[in-house]
Structure 1
Amino acid sequence: MRHAEFREPRLVQVYDAECPWSREDDFFLAVVNETPGSRVLDLGCGTGRLALGLIAAGHEVTGVDPARASLEAARAKPSAERVTWIEGTSSILPAGSFDVAVMTSHVAQFFVGDIEWAGALSDLGRSLVPGGRLVFDSRDPQARRWERWNPVDSRRRIMLPDGRAVSAWTEVTAVQGGAVSFTHHYIFPDGERLMSTATLRFRTEELIRSSVEAAGFAIEAIYGGWNREPVGVGDGEFLVIARRS
């Protein structure tokens, strides 16, 4: 199934267990906290990890995601009733409703086509107030992160809350024109095997800058690592902070 780790309830549980709060969330929280008490859009909120952290920090949060199973997991968490959860895509965003918009966990890379990406940026710009900020992450293609997505380097054991362990690994199936397709494999203790397929777009810094600016944003900063290192000397990331013009 495509994007099954977000859509298949059994894999959503695995995803949630594999992706606890991390320094990546610390980065986004710190940037959002620069606008105290802000109205925040979390586009591609998934199971709600960051959205709930933002609520705890005193922000008003709306989490938007097209995957119902992920949203159901988010709604079941403590304090979830304080977040506005919406099933949908960027196309349903209300105009001028947010001070800050975030896309975390490399959600930006799921917009593979240039037209699709431009549309999402346009929707985000429309949803922000004048001067509102957009913050997102995208992997630097120079780091060639996908070369580690193979059955040897990516093999891992994921512990579920009930103590069971799921075996998982990833394999790349195609690399073409900046788009990398891959499959996640999962084996559950009862022997069930599930797969999730996806394609991510690895845009260069030049492409990110030009597309974001074309959508009416001014780039404030692009960092290469979670401690705000320069591009090329950090964690193989593009951490983009932009402001609606």
Structure 2
Amino acid sequence: MFTDADAAALYDLLNPWDPENAPGDRFYHELIMAADSVLDVGCGTGTALACARAAGHQGRLVGLDPDRAALDRARRWADVEWVDGTAAEMSWQAGFDLAMMTGHAFQCLVGDQDVRDSLAAVRAALRPGGRFVFETRNPRARAWEDWNPSNAVDVVGLLDAAGRPLRVWHEVESVAGELVSFSGTTADHDGAVLRIDRARLRFLDVAPLDAFLAEAGLAVDGRYGDWDRGPVTGTSREIITIARRR
């Protein structure tokens, strides 16, 4: 068997939070360390906030996620607040200087109402002038075209909780406008399938994204196409947004 807890542990192995060597992690880490109070929406296993606390952050750090297995793993760090829930379910009022969504978590908001409700809750959670920072994949770069079994990742030298070497790959099942449906397969190194997860992501371009932000009362302060703060172009992999509560 390959449990939800195993999947959360594997995620950490494949995606270690490393501000020293990973530009995207460094981008967010610097923002966290400069803010007195931080809300990580879709915090997953909590490594971003745990890293900030270990680096000396003295303020309030709150992680929110609906994935209970991921939160169970996050709760290894008792000096951070961990909350089970989704963005749209938040009820904080003017409690944070910074809200963020890392790891392309914003793309999990696939319906218009999901986006509207989540952005409204994020704005409400921010103090006046507070910032919401997130990234989404640039649809013009068509990242999903690389999601196929030929790009499988062999987890060489990394083992899951059961001590197995693993192979992980993704496969697109459909592309319908802004929505990409795909499967993620985890297998033993010999190819025996242990688990298949399915998901949909939304690829919003700049114009519709900004329309949603403006409707929610969030003004774009910064927009980048890479972690070095370069402009968004047709070949940029990312649309990185810093929005401020009006």
Give TM-score, length-normalised by structure 1.
0.90
| Matched ranges for 1:226-245 at <5 A | 226-232=227-233, 235-245=236-246
Distance 1:102 1:199 in 2: 21
Is the 1:168–1:186 contact (alpha carbons within 8 Å) kept by the matching residues of 2?
yes
SS of the residue aligned with 1:225? Answer: coil
The one of 104, 108, 111 equivalent to 1:110 is 108
**What 5-or-longer segments of structure 1 have no aligned partner?**
none
Structure 1 runs of 4+ with >4 Å offset: 189-192
- 2:180 is aligned to 180
- 2:83 is aligned to 86
Deviation track 1:132-164 (CA, whole Å, cap 9, x = no partner) reads 1000010000100000001112x1112236764
**What 5-or-longer segments of structure 2 have no aligned partner?**
none
| Matched ranges for 1:210-221 at <5 A | 210-221=211-222
Deviation track 1:175-229 (CA, whole Å, cap 9, x = no partner) reads 0021000000111359452011100000001111111111001100110001111
RMSD: 1.9
Is the 2:141–2:235 contact (alpha carbons within 8 Å) kept by the matching residues of 1?
no
Give, in angstroms, the shift of residue 11 of structure 1. Answer: 1.3
| Matched ranges for 1:36-51 at <5 A | 38-51=36-49
- 1:29 is aligned to 29
Query: What is the identity, as a one-letter code, of the residue corresponding to 1:179?
Result: L
Is the 2:154–2:189 contact (alpha carbons within 8 Å) kept by the matching residues of 1?
no
Distance 2:218 2:129 in 1: 9
Distance 1:234 1:17 in 2: 29
SS of the residue aligned with 1:123? Answer: helix
Query: What is the identity, as a one-letter code, of the residue corresponding to 2:225?
Result: G
The one of 143, 146, 149 equivalent to 1:148 is 146
Give TM-score, length-normalised by structure 2.
0.89
SS of the residue aligned with 2:140? Answer: helix
Query: What is the identity, as a one-letter code, of the residue corresponding to 2:125?
Result: S
The one of 128, 131, 137 equivalent to 1:130 is 128
**Number of equivalences:** 234
Distance 1:93 1:55 in 2: 24
Distance 1:102 1:54 in 2: 14
Query: What is the identity, as a one-letter code, of the residue corresponding to 1:157?
Result: D
Give, in angstroms, the shift of residue 89 of structure 1. Answer: 1.3
Give, in angstroms, the shift of residue 235 of structure 1. Answer: 4.7
Is the 1:62–1:85 contact (alpha carbons within 8 Å) kept by the matching residues of 2?
yes
Give, in angstroms, the shift of residue 51 of structure 1. Answer: 1.3
